[in-house]
Amino acid sequence: MKQIAIRKHFSYFVTDSKEIESGSFDEKLESLDEEMNSLLKKYDLTLVEYETRFIPMEKMSLFHCEKCNHLMINRDLNPAKFDGNELYSDLAFVVLDGGTHEGMNLCEECLPISHRWGHFS
């Protein structure tokens, strides 16, 4: 029986309004798309769709965990996270919950279990 394997890839880079407005952001993405298509074809894979979403880092309290470098939203600063917006529902494993502990931004995996947003430490 034939089956289709659908695979999701998440990646990110930090940009700013100046880069977006100048068009250099679009040029980067076009180059990336060309290289990705070539790589996928090499493995007989087909690119079906991709999308780019912008998350305002400061407004959303988005940081890198200071212990493991994973993307996280500091829920102590932004308790609503994405405020139920379905646009971000598939990012739960890409952007973790987190908080502040002893002056450091830590993701839910690095926070102590005693912290409100700590789950695994």
Instruction: Identify the domain containing residue 100 by its residue range.
Output: 57-107
Count: domains in the chain? 2
Cβ neighbours, 10 Å, residue 84:
8
Strand partners, 72: 63, 96
Q: What is the mean pLDDT of residues 19-44?
A: 91
Handedness of CA 61, 56, 26, 43 (dihedral sign): positive
Residues 43 and 72 in one domain: no
Of 48-52, 63-67, 73-77, 113-117, the range with the lowest mean pLDDT is 48-52
Residues 78 and 48 in one domain: no
User: What pLDDT, on a 0 to 100 scale, did the predictor assign at position 112?
Assistant: 95
Residues 46 and 63 in one domain: no
Q: Is the pLDDT assigned to residue 104 strictly greater than 80?
A: yes
User: What pLDDT, on a 0 to 100 scale, did the predictor assign at position 121?
Assistant: 54
Residues 96 and 66 in one domain: yes
Residues 91 and 64 in one domain: yes
Residues 62 and 41 in one domain: no
Is position 96 within any domain? Answer: yes
Is position 112 within any domain? Answer: no
pTM over cut 0.75: yes
